[in-house]
Structure 1
Amino acid sequence: MIAAIPLLILPFILYNLGMMGILGSGGVAVFEDTVMSMTMLSGAVWTMDVGDLLIVTALMLLFVEILKATRISSKALMDHLLSMVLFVVFLVEFLLVANAATHVFFILMTISFIDVIAGFSVSMRTAGRDVAIGL
């Protein structure tokens, strides 16, 4: 059952903890804190904020979720159902909570939507290969 829990719940929880001020400076301002900056060969300075790091983490977890969608088991349906529930929670929070109306949260919500669509698509494609029609 634990394997069916969508991994994208981690960025969702981290965003909400940051939004409540538990992770740092308080409110959504924590996502604008600089994690690192680097001077490029061109002379431009590239910076990574906490929000950017959260998005990169969510993208890595999306990759793992898509790999999970290729497995064929009874847990796959529960995994897709929970991913859909997580996307709906993302959407409701985005529409109803003022601090969730940020570009970081919107991108996290979009990643969750891609997880739902990709999960169903990959599972349907994989299941189609497993069906053998005997003559």
Structure 2
Amino acid sequence: MSMIGFPLLLIPLAICNIILFLMPGVSFVTPLVTLALMSGVAWPVTLSDVLIALGILLLLFEVIKGARPGSKYFMDHLLSLVVFAGAAAEFVMLPQFGTSTYFLLTMLALVDFLSGIALRTRRNARLAAVDAPVSRSGQQRDIEAPQPRFDPDPAPQVPPTTVAEAVLPDRSEPATPHPVDIVRTSSDTRSPGLQPNDGAHPASDAPLR
């Protein structure tokens, strides 16, 4: 189960409330430790600096948690709004909370709420852009339903032709000779040995005995 309903920025705000209500003598500007930087400057770290740095780090984790898919539900946004509204009310109405430290923590709570809303809106827009082509294609499939098809009349069958017939030119068949021409041709033909004076050896002029 994910961390639903626990705004992390409630931690520095709760620390401020504990210090202001239970330890009124503690000052936020009193240096807790002094750090020597490489430049040679001594940097006094106060309680205010620690709380603001803690709030910034927790805001980073809140943004990362809100960027994950499936996170930042309605209850998360509602609790973030409640935390911001409570911090703003304390800053405006209670005199001990009127400090720059508490104001910056209140602004961090506001950024947490607005970033969660922005991330959720962007995620919904992205999902809508992804689902739009899918739904559109589904509607087109419904509209373009297959209509009943009527088969046309079968085309007349053409006898298949071979490659040779398609390539070679058409050759006309030889004409059949007429019977009269056959007779004339045969009458004009001479048979050897039957006609007079037609042969290899001429007829002898010698008288018959």
Check whether TM > 0.5. yes
1:19 aligns with 2:16: no
**Residues 122 and 20 (structure 1), Cα distance of their counterparts in 2 relative to 1, 3 Å cut:** same
Aligned position for 2:105: 108
Question: What SS is found at the alignment partner of 1:43?
Answer: coil
Distance 2:62 2:53 in 1: 14
Aligned position for 1:38: 35
Q: What is the 5 A alignment of 1:61-80?
A: 61-73=58-70, 76-80=73-77
Aligned position for 2:79: 82
Q: Any idea what the Cα deviations from partners look like across 1:47-97, whole Å, max 9, x if unmatched?
A: 111111111111111011111212343752110111011101011100101
Question: What SS is found at the alignment partner of 1:48?
Answer: strand
How high is the TM-score relative to the length of structure 2? 0.58
Distance 2:34 2:69 in 1: 43
1:10 Cα deviation from its structure 2 partner = 0.7
1:45 Cα deviation from its structure 2 partner = 1.1
Tell me if structure 1 keeps the 8 A contact 2:65–2:71. no
What letter corresponds to residue 76 of structure 1 in structure 2?
Y
1:123 Cα deviation from its structure 2 partner = 1.2
Distance 1:28 1:52 in 2: 18
What letter corresponds to residue 44 of structure 2 in structure 1?
T
Distance 2:61 2:120 in 1: 14
Distance 2:71 2:112 in 1: 18
Q: Any idea what the Cα deviations from partners look like across 1:19-69, whole Å, max 9, x if unmatched?
A: 013xxxx32733223232112233221111111111111111101111121
Aligned position for 1:52: 49
What letter corresponds to residue 71 of structure 1 in structure 2?
R
Question: What SS is found at the alignment partner of 2:73?
Answer: helix
Unaligned runs of at least 5 residues, structure 1:
none
Distance 1:114 1:88 in 2: 12
Distance 1:12 1:60 in 2: 14
Distance 1:74 1:65 in 2: 11
Between Structure 1 and Structure 2, how many residues are aligned? 131
Unaligned runs of at least 5 residues, structure 2:
137-209
Aligned position for 2:191: none
Computed over aligned residues only, the root mean square deviation of the Cα atoms, in angstroms, reads: 1.9
- Identity among equivalent positions (%) equals 27
